[in-house]
Amino acid sequence: MENKKERLVAAIENGTVIDHIPAEKTYQVTALLGLDRLTTPVTIGNYYLSKKLGKKGIIKVSDKYFTTEEISRLSVVAPKIVLNIIKGYEVVEKKTVETPDELRGIVKCNNPKCITNNEPMQTVFNVVDKVNGILKCHYCDKEQEMGKVELC
């Protein structure tokens, strides 16, 4: 029976399996990684039971490996996810999300008067406190918490 459960999402030969996604964040992860633009097979599974998370999402992406920059974007929605790098059906590496020093064009500034909300331009945030997840807008200096951001 265990075996059958584990195979709910089919194994992939080469690519990336993104695991331990909080279920309500799964579709934000697909957006942040631009999975809607990929032309390789993508399998999204959601609301699986997880001992650690309650309910979790798993995304399997064939023939695709993500850059450190792409992975770091996930820190704003799902800092505890794990990316399993698959080669020849085996997990050859596990990558965790590292909070970057800077976030460009990923989250919105929550200050309505900020220039980034009034001009067609990219937002830039400096991560001023990685432990508590505090971001500071490069343009207006307004601080906001990583867990409460709105994505661009």
52 by Cβ neighbours in 10 Å (0-12 / 13-18 / 19+) ranks as: exposed
**What part of residues 94-113 is at the interface with Zn ion (CB under 5 A)?**
109, 111
Asked whether position 53 contacts Zn ion by CB under 5 A, the answer is: no
Would you give the distance in Å from CA 27 to the centre of its chain?
9
Residue 152 annotated as binding site: no
Asked whether position 124 contacts Zn ion by CB under 5 A, the answer is: no
Question: Pick from 23, 82, 140, 152: which binds Zn ion (CB under 5 A)?
Answer: 140
Q: Shortest approach of Zn ion to residue 119 CB, angstroms? A: 11
3-state SS, residue 35: helix
DSSP state of 39: -
Distance CA 131, CA 15 (A): 30
Q: For Zn ion, give the closer residue by CB, 44 or 140.
A: 140
Q: Shortest approach of Zn ion to residue 124 CB, angstroms? A: 9
Amino acid of residue 38: L
Asked whether position 62 contacts Zn ion by CB under 5 A, the answer is: no
- CA atoms within 13 Å, Cβ hemisphere of 21: 27
Q: For Zn ion, give the closer residue by CB, 97 or 127.
A: 127
What residues form the annotated binding site for Zn(2+)?
A: 109, 114, 137, 140
Task: Using CB under 5 A, list all residues that contact Zn ion.
Answer: 109, 111, 114, 137, 139-140, 142
